[in-house]
Amino acid sequence: MIDDTKGSMMVKLIGLSGSLRRGSFNTALLRAAGELLPAGVELSVHTIWGIPLYDADAEAAEGIPLAVAGLKEAIAASDGLLLATPEYNNSIPGPFKNAIDWLTRPQTDIKRVFGRKPVAILGASPGGFGTILSQDAWLPVLRYLGTKPWFDGRLLVSRAGEVFDASGAITDDKVREQLKRFVHGFVEFVGTPTSQETALPGQ
């Protein structure tokens, strides 16, 4: 994207945390990522707070909730999307999947919002395996949405309670360096011509 105020290219990323918790490790991970980006890149961090349970009757009667509509437009206008996913019971957290379900309504908007959108998945967990199963569970969803996932990097933050301090800052230098390499790799992927292709028909 062109930043008209500076006359130069500005890459705009959206980071979406799949946790509702105020002290979420995944929200903290995205905020830390925003501090490690290369020059000319900005990351706007969002959460799923305020998104109701999906109800087709409510959609028909009241339309798309404001929280959903605003997030949809932010994603559509972005150059890339970072999904920071917790892991509940070895899979995708229900509230996070619910938010994505809302973001695909109406279905005719899927191509505009998600089509060929560069997407990367990362996650933090108090457990010892990071969010590996949750991240894998997202792949069929991202395929259906017609996104362009980044597969060259993976970030699984385990024992997250030992990685972040009470303010949400990363205290582990190794994890900070891994996060820096991850986001720089994704930014490079976002900037490649193949990542900016027009959505395929039917996607």
What pLDDT is stored for residue 9 in this prediction?
Answer: 75
Give one DSSP letter per residue of 147-203, joined into a string. -EE--S--EEE-SGGGTB-TTS-B--HHHHHHHHHHHHHHHHHHTSGGGGPPPPTT-
Neighbours of 92 (CB within 10 A): 23
Contact 183, 170 (CB under 8 A): no
Mean pLDDT, range 94-119, rounded to an integer: 98
pTM: 0.90
Residue 2 has pLDDT above 80, yes or no: no
Any residues with CB less than 8 A from the CB of 188 and at least 6 apart, and which?
Answer: none
Confidence of residue 8 (pLDDT cuts 50, 70, 90): low
Mean pLDDT of 92-118: 98
State mean pLDDT over 40-58: 98
Tell me the per-residue pLDDT of 126-158, one tens digit each, with 9 for 90 and over. 999 999 999 999 999 999 999 999 999 999 999
Tokens 């991202």 belong to 142
57, with CB counted inside 10 A (0-12, 13-18, 19+), is exposed
Assign 193 a pLDDT band (cuts: 50, 70, 90). Answer: low
Domain 2-196, CATH homologous superfamily name and number: Flavodoxin domain (3.40.50.360)
* Per-residue pLDDT at 201 exceeds 60: no
| Summary mean pLDDT of the chain | 92
Q: Which residue did the predictor score with more confidence, 66 or 198?
A: 66
Phi, psi of 75 (to 5 degrees): -65, -45
13-30: pLDDT as tens digits: 999 999 999 999 999 999
Is the pLDDT confidence value at 44 over 50?
yes
pLDDT in tens, 155-184: 999 999 999 999 999 999 999 999 999 999
CA dist., res. 169 & res. 20, Å (int): 18
Spatial separation of the C-alpha atoms in residues 156 and 175, rounded to whole Å = 9
By CB atoms closer than 10 A (0-12, 13-18, 19+), residue 182 is: buried
**According to the model, what pLDDT value does residue 1 have?**
60
In the chain, where are the structural domains located?
A: 2-196
